[in-house]
A = this chain, B = another copy of it.
Amino acid sequence: MEKLRVAVVGYGNIGRYAVDAVNGAPDMKLVGIVRRQEDVPQGVFVPVADDIGKLPNVDVALLCVPTRSVEEHAKKCLKMGICTVDSYDIHESIYELKTSLNQAAKEGGAAAVISAGWDPGTDSVVRAIMLASAPFGLTHTDFGPGMSMGHTVAAKAIGGVKNALSMTMPMGYGVHRRDVYIELEDGADFEKVRKDLLCDPYFATSDTHVYEVDDVNVLIDKGHGVDMVRKGGAGKTQNQFFQWKMTIDNPALTSQIMVACARAARRQAPGAYTMLEFPLIDLLPGGREEIIRALV
């Protein structure tokens, strides 16, 4: 069997896990890592390049880069005929990314799977199943407990803050509390920092609790969670209840979903796809008959 030749673009949090996930996939071969510095990180035994064009015969590129630079990287790969997978997570502009990459993908003759993570991503798929199963009713999504990257960055930007961690705490049925842990700069006043933070648009509309700590770093883990429930019905039937729950290592799950989507990318016609837009059997290794016999 010809193995899928995969490159990991970006070697941050998700990129490191992606390397492990590709190495663990029986049908893939890691052909290289693309990062700005061409030096080889410890424990890496594949070519490292500062440009994907320098790696030989890449089938799929996993774009483990910041969300805001996904489009630029994806277009470059797609134009070279390399399929891409990203975990673009700005929900409001996913459709715009799809439109933009769809054109680039068709021009390059490759496929892009976009927003392939757990939310957006597998949670989106579960939402579709829930909605198909119960067309009327309400879906609520609780996130966490887990670190919010966006809110942590916002907290770090407040004057007097040396380091910060903003945790998303699920209070049930879609309401979240923010627990913010602050390490102060020398001489900073906690009460002033606290008030400034509570006025910040990131925190002003949520119940936010602020705590002063000596060392933020010892509080950080990469675990996260989801608890999504739908109560609804169809026809004359009420009160059908569905729940999807996960407790997971965040970057590890994101990168594994990207790896599964690399298979799907190679199996689609040129174009850009969200995870709702291709058959889910395309996520899995192995033959069609074998998968259907095992799962259906």
Residues of A within 8 A of B (CB): 17, 19-21, 23-25, 91, 94-95, 98, 115, 118, 120, 122, 124-129, 131-136, 233-237, 239-249, 252-253, 255-257, 259-260, 274-281, 283-285, 288-289, 291-293, 295-296
CA distance A260 to B128 in the complex (A): 11
Interface centre among A125, A128, A243, A249, by most chain B C-beta atoms within 10 angstroms, is: A128
Are A241 and B236 in contact, CB atoms less than 8 angstroms apart? Answer: no
Show 7 A/B contacts (Cβ-Cβ < 8 Å), sorted by A. A21-B235, A23-B235, A128-B281, A128-B295, A234-B253, A240-B247, A276-B279
CA distance A276 to B292 in the complex (A): 8
Are A129 and B126 in contact, CB atoms less than 8 angstroms apart? Answer: yes
Are B129 and A280 in contact, CB atoms less than 8 angstroms apart? Answer: yes
The 7 closest A-B pairs by CB, nearest first: A20-B235, A234-B256, A237-B252, A132-B260, A132-B283, A276-B281, A21-B235
Closest to A88 in B: B296
Are B134 and A129 in contact, CB atoms less than 8 angstroms apart? Answer: no
Given contacts A21-B235, A129-B283, A276-B281, 16 further A-B contacts (CB under 8 A): A17-B237, A20-B234, A115-B296, A118-B133, A127-B295, A128-B291, A132-B256, A132-B284, A133-B257, A133-B260, A234-B253, A234-B256, A240-B248, A242-B246, A243-B243, A276-B292
Are B128 and A280 in contact, CB atoms less than 8 angstroms apart? Answer: yes
Q: Which residues of B contact A241 (CB under 8 A)?
A: 245-248
Write the nearest CB–CB distance from A27 to chain B, whole angstroms. Answer: 11
Are B280 and A125 in contact, CB atoms less than 8 angstroms apart? Answer: yes
Write the nearest CB–CB distance from A43 to chain B, whole angstroms. Answer: 11
A94-B292, A133-B256, A244-B243 as given contacts; A128 in contact with B234, CB under 8 Å: no
CA distance A135 to B235 in the complex (A): 37
Are B289 and A95 in contact, CB atoms less than 8 angstroms apart? Answer: yes
Closest to A241 in B: B247
